[in-house]
Amino acid sequence: MPITHLLEKNAREFPEDIALVALNAQMKDPRRLSWKEYDLTQQTKPKPYRRELTWRAFDEKANRVANLLLSRNVKKGDKVGILMMNCLEWLPIYFGILKSGALAVPLNFRYASDEIEYCVDLADVSVLFFGSEFIERLDQIAEPLQKNRLLFYVGDGCPKYAENYYREVSDMPSVNPGVELTDDDYGAIYFSSGTTGFPKAILHKHRSLSQSAVVEQKHHGQQKDDVFLCIPPLYHTGAKMHWFGSLISGSRAVLLTGISPETIVKAVSTEHCSIVWLLVPWAQDILDAIDRGQIDLKDYDLDQWRLMHIGAQPVPKSLVRRWLEVFPHHQYDTNYGLSEAIGPGCVHLGVENVDHVGSIGIPGYGWECRIVDENRNDVKQGEVGELAVKGPGVMEEYYKNREATAETLSDDRWLFTGDMAKQDEQGFYYLVDRKKDVIISGGENLYPVQIEDFIHKNEAIKDVAVIGLPDHRLGEIATAIVEVREGYHLSEYELSDFCRDLPKYKRPRKYIFAHVPRNATGKIEKPLLRRMYGGANIVEEENQG
């Protein structure tokens, strides 16, 4: 069943219930608030910008978008891009694209002008919806973008090379356009992280989108009275596919922009959120703010908050232990997924397996997993190899890239993830590292995640990334980039001494005290770190004995 049917079902059954709430905690300019939203008694402190949408209005707006596209000769199978920050318009536009029979093509809001141009060309995008935050970038590529392509601007002050979305869509009928969709129709193109060059385009059928909704609801049991707080960017499969569980249950979701520890906890309190998906840095920041006294939990209504789950990157055990000490009534889950396997849930820990924290878990609902060697033969249990997954959410191909598809996807539909993992005797999978991030030092394979997990045990550590840097003698040496928590001091000697509990060959040989950069989905940007520090003059720990 195409996922658009779930939206239509909710519009029929819960027409006046709130589907989406958009909170913009950064909204401070009263000139950008309507008179109803601006409290004249608090002129120096305007209320946060809050908008909401019922299920009926959500579905009607999606229908208007679909009819707009069809009126502009968009055909089934055409590709329509979305380049927008999280907002109340995002999901109706996405579903409107699907209802028209076109493929939705969400774009990373961090893309530079050349990346935007590359991706819309690669994906054969014929229509692009974009927001005000991207005018400067699109100004630079406006001429090539306009060739055989419609541009709809979602905002105020429409540039000359685009059409005003609000004006054009307001004249469209709000009835379902009646385009027939099946699970075998193509539904979306997502892009890989692009950490090794320009992104690859990942092609999915409607079947994948529906599968992700079923998996998410099976794993986290969303009910009608749940409220999901969505913080990560909607262009990414993770955030949207976690919200798909709320789509099944017809429950409310809150889109939060303007992220800080205080705004997250306040949103949970004021909107009565029960499920929150966090990235590691956000969870860490909340705990640190509580430790500093910046957040006093007694000031918030948090009794309804039942589940916190994390995905998109390895999760330090120490972080989860701290979280459950502060929030002992919370359920916790770890989700492993990738855009090639339609976002979260092909492997997940499960709330009932919190005693296995550190593991990414077991195969998700409807999924299979294997650990294979370089020849793609199964390894013995306990040995490290590449994680492969199989299920109805696996991509169809890398669009227009047969070579990359053949390298990643077998003829019998096993997807080789590029992640190194191992399985214990109880069947739980443990992520060891990205295949490309493995450090080979003096002939030994070092897995950075294992070293990072150890260093995270030091209470002074906010974040850490371990990378391999060139060495004339050993080939590569393990280097730790360390970000220290506010209010703590940690010297190179103290950290080196702390790491003496690691096996000698695993100890970092260099330390850098600096910010650890992460992308919008929380993954450490290790290629960037290798470029930054490959020739840096940094502290080397000579004495590893």
Out of 231-240, 334-343, 386-395, 454-463, the most confident range is: 386-395
Residue 47: pLDDT band (50, 70, 90) is: very low
Model confidence band, residue 102 (pLDDT cutoffs 50, 70, 90): very high
What pLDDT digit, counting tens, does each position of 61-100 carry? 999 999 999 999 999 999 999 999 999 999 999 999 999 9
Q: Does the pLDDT value for residue 31 go beyond 80?
A: no
3-state secondary structure 343-408: EEEEEECCHHHHHHECECEEECCCCEEEEECCCCCECCCCCCEEEEEECCCCCCEECCCHHHHHHH
Topology alike, domains 4-205 and 307-434? no
What single string gives the DSSP state of each residue in 92-124?
HHHHHHHHTTPEEEE--TT--HHHHHHHHHHTT
| Residue 40 scores a pLDDT above 70 | no
CA 397 vs CA 82, 158, 181, 215, 411: distances in Å: 21, 36, 20, 21, 11
Q: Which CATH superfamily is domain 440-540 in?
A: ANL, C-terminal domain (3.30.300.30)
- State pTM to two decimals: 0.82
Average pLDDT score over residue span 188-195? 78
Q: Which residues pair with 340 in a beta bridge?
A: none
Among the residue ranges 131-140, 308-317, 366-375, 491-500, the one predicted with the least confidence is: 308-317
411-417 mean pLDDT: 94
The residue that leads in pLDDT, 535 or 348, is: 348
* CATH superfamily of the 307-434 domain: Luciferase; Domain 3 (2.30.38.10)
CATH 3.40.50.12780 fits 4-205, yes or no: yes
The least confident of 185-194, 413-422, 446-455, 466-475 is 466-475
Tokens of 256: 């939060």
Q: What is the pLDDT of residue 197?
A: 58
**Tell me, what's the pLDDT at 442?**
64
Q: Average pLDDT for residues 380-392, to the nearest whole number?
A: 94
**Domain regions of the chain by residue span:** 4-205, 307-434, 440-540
Give me the residue label for tokens 């980039």: 481
| pLDDT interval class at 314 (50, 70, 90) | low
